[in-house]
Structure 1
Amino acid sequence: QGDARAQTSLGLLYARGYGVEKNMETARKWWSFAAAQNDPGAQYNLGIVYSGGQGIPRDDAQAAQWYGKAAMRGHVQAQHNLGLLYFEGRGVEKDLQRSYYWLAVAALQGDDASQAAKEKIAVLMTGTQIREADVQAQDWMKKAKKAWQ
């Protein structure tokens, strides 16, 4: 299968055109190899490609899928972006509580942009929804910390 980190790095070279001709389809191919091996960076990069339609048709459902996989593996920016997709209802059903949850998970890891977005979404939610999402985010972090040790 190859080295996932090397495949992710090779994808970045093609995406940015460093030392090679810029080619998003080739970048996507390398990231797909690495993502199949559960590399969260590659999964996040695929989310970026699909959400922006960079070199391929935009596909918000695919973006949400890849952000979701990376988010579950602790990728903070993927957690943030997934939270925004749930807020906007892009590629997933609009869900304020789930949006808040993913933004809270990212915020608990020090992401200031997620903290700010979470606060803006909170004004659209009930107190119960906020408490439930906060508890779920704390639980996720506890489980993740155990898994990362």
Structure 2
Amino acid sequence: MVKPFYSLHLPWLLCCLLTSCVFDDSSPDRSSPTLPYEESTISIPEIRKAAEQGNPDAQNRLGMLYSEGRGVPQDYIQAKQWFDKAAEKGHPGAQVNLGTLYFQGNGAPESEQMALSWFRRAAAQGDALAFAKLGLMYEQGRGVPQDFIQAHMWYNLSAAHGEKRAIERRDALTKQMTPAQVAEAQRLAREWTPKQK
């Protein structure tokens, strides 16, 4: 018996949608030289103080702590508030995290369109995790019409930035595409350039 696509890939899909999982490059906070975020070297009160002073890295990190319930009670509303602050300052990791909250409906109204908007903003800055999440949304037709060419392009961009699971997804998707579709996706990936630095 052949299992439906969604049941075969459900664990991967769930993992992909959680920023602290598969496609996380272990540094969504894009640590700045002035604020290292190794958990062994900085305390939650120090992170909170830096966040309250407006540091977007700290704001994103504090949002992650609330989202994951690490060192603080899990609170998606608090997570969203901190991600909002950092995302509005252009922090790509916070933009991906905020998009994930909208996608899942945690601390924010469930909205594939809002998730897409935030993933696109982070992708415009060249964020590898945002590329992968856009690939997933195009592959599954979540908030956009299903489009394997676009999905392949986004996975390819993510893979080019070292995301191993994006490589796996792109390669699996390739098997469902014609050579012409793959060539078009590869051309689009080669021609894509970030809109922001």
TM-score scaled by structure 1? 0.85
Deviation at 1:54, TM superposition (A): 2.1
TM-score scaled by structure 2? 0.66
How many residue pairs are counted as aligned between the two chains? Answer: 144
Q: 1:68 aligns with which of 99, 120, 133?
A: 120
Residue 118 and residue 19 in structure 1: after superposition, are their counterparts in 2 closer, same or farther (change >3 A)?
Answer: closer
In structure 2, what is the Cα distance between the partners aligned to 1:31 and 1:74? 18
The answer for the alignment partner of 2:92 in structure 1 is: 40
Deviation at 1:108, TM superposition (A): 1.3
Q: 2:81 aligns with which of 29, 41, 45?
A: 29
2:158 matched to 1:106? Answer: yes
1:20 alignment partner, SS class = coil
The structure that is helix-richer by fraction is 1
The answer for the alignment partner of 1:132 in structure 2 is: 184
Give the root-mean-square deviation of aligned CA atoms: 2.0
Deviation at 1:20, TM superposition (A): 3.2
* 8 Å contact from structure 1 (residues 47, 63) kept in 2: yes
2:141 matched to 1:93? Answer: no
* 8 Å contact from structure 2 (residues 80, 107) kept in 1: no
Deviation at 1:4, TM superposition (A): 1.5
Tell me which structure has the larger Cα radius of gyration.
2
Deviation at 1:79, TM superposition (A): 0.9
1:74 alignment partner, SS class = coil
The answer for the alignment partner of 2:54 in structure 1 is: 2
2:119 matched to 1:57? Answer: no
